[in-house]
Amino acid sequence: MPKDTTTIPLGPQHPALVEPEYIKLEVDGESVISAEIHLGYLHRGIEELMQRRNYIQNIFVAERICGICSACHTLTYASAVESLLDIEVTDRAKYIRTIMAELERLHSHLLWVGVAGYEIGIDTVFQYAWKDREYIMAILEEISGNRVNYAMNTIGGVRRDITDTHAEKLKNIMKIIEKRSEYYKKVFAKDAVILKRTKNMGILTAHDAKKYSAAGPLARASNIRFDIRNEKYAAYGLIDWTEITAAGCDVAARAEVRIIELEESAKIITQCLDQMEHDPLVMRAPPIVPVGETTFRVEAPRGEIFYYARSNGTDTPERVKMRPPTYANLLALKSMLKGAKLADVPIIVASIDPCFSCTDRVTVLDTKTKKEKILTENDLRKLSK
């Protein structure tokens, strides 16, 4: 390491980060030499909470892990519990789950397009994208009653239906989204300022993407076919859809993947609406879950959500553990930030679409007994004294 380098903290409180996280940057002048990622500023004890509540109560805990991916978290959790119970939801419930997941992808990707414009310094893109995002937020509120935390998924199916009136509005909104995605494709492909700030920025080669176990649009923008929807959960095995990849390996490629996925999500939702039949919304599920353990994965807007659930034969899980996509993608920043200019760090960090609130975990491993313990609130208070 050169002696004339300087350490610059990005976070935990910084204008470029909405959530508190700490990235330690070693810079030589304006060039980033290395980056260290430090977690642990937003631990909320979610996993401990889920071991103290029954399976139904935990749906609402899982939903609050992430405000943007709340439907995907409950879908993953409910599907894991359903596999322990050996029950399969109806086709209508599968279609509704898929519609909600894709609506969430739409509002997340539009949010990202706006944030990307903001980080680059083009507030017009930010305003346009968030205006278009309101179409999605409004229909989500009309279907579920909430703009976030929709309380749609439950063990055995879904809690609310999508009516014919909702379906008609959804189809009209999907036409608008497809048209607007064409506009964003042109903007991100032709605007000189955007190209200057995104092309060849934050390079993550396919080799490094695999090395750091990147997921979601981050991996697919490095030309890696890795989309959990290929496992055909929910209704993804009942419809036609295309996995979107790009070969640019840079911020521009990540924008390309997300913008094209806007069109793909609109097509998926339209197919689901056309194919839905009038099945029951929910299958009866017993409160006691048999002894066993399982895993389940879902493709959230940012990438793979992984859940592990273990039952001891009661109405409360013995263990629930989850890995959100940001946890998988954060380490890739070490490669993406190396050699970058300091002014480009915010857009490179934003290009992984980080969510730190659903990433942080505090776990202690006793090296003697090899037993794992999740720190409770009281444990944290004792440590802070």
Domains of the chain: 46-328 (1.10.645.10)
pLDDT in tens, 135-167: 999 999 999 999 989 999 999 999 999 999 999
All residues at 6 or more sequence positions from 365 whose CB lies less than 8 Å from its CB, including other chains: 371, 372, 373
Higher pLDDT, 371 or 270: 270
Q: How confident is the model at residue 356 (pLDDT cuts 50, 70, 90)?
A: confident
d(CA 337, CA 345): 7
What's the predicted TM-score (pTM) here?
A: 0.91
Residue 19's pLDDT is 76
Phi first, then psi: what are they for 101, rounded to 5°?
A: -65, -40
All residues at 6 or more sequence positions from 295 whose CB lies less than 8 Å from its CB, including other chains: 80, 306, 307, 308, 309
pLDDT in tens, 193-226: 999 999 999 999 999 999 999 999 999 999 999 9
All residues at 6 or more sequence positions from 302 whose CB lies less than 8 Å from its CB, including other chains: 69, 108, 215, 216, 217, 324, 325, 326, 329, 352, 353, 354, 355
Residue from 32, 37, 44, 46 nearest 12 by CA: 37
pLDDT in tens, 274-301: 999 999 999 999 999 999 999 999 999 9
Q: How confident is the model at residue 327 (pLDDT cuts 50, 70, 90)?
A: confident
Would the pLDDT of 339 be above 50?
A: yes
Residue from 301, 273, 318, 317 nearest 70 by CA: 301
DSSP assignment, residue 290? P
Please state which of the ranges 48-62, 247-261, 319-333, 364-378 shows the lowest mean pLDDT. Answer: 364-378
* Helix/strand/coil for 38: strand
Q: How confident is the model at residue 374 (pLDDT cuts 50, 70, 90)?
A: low
Residue 181's pLDDT is 96
Please state which of the ranges 1-5, 78-82, 310-314, 330-334 shows the lowest mean pLDDT. Answer: 1-5
Q: Decide if 347 contacts 119 (C-beta within 8 A).
A: yes
Residue 375's pLDDT is 53
Would the pLDDT of 99 be above 70?
A: yes
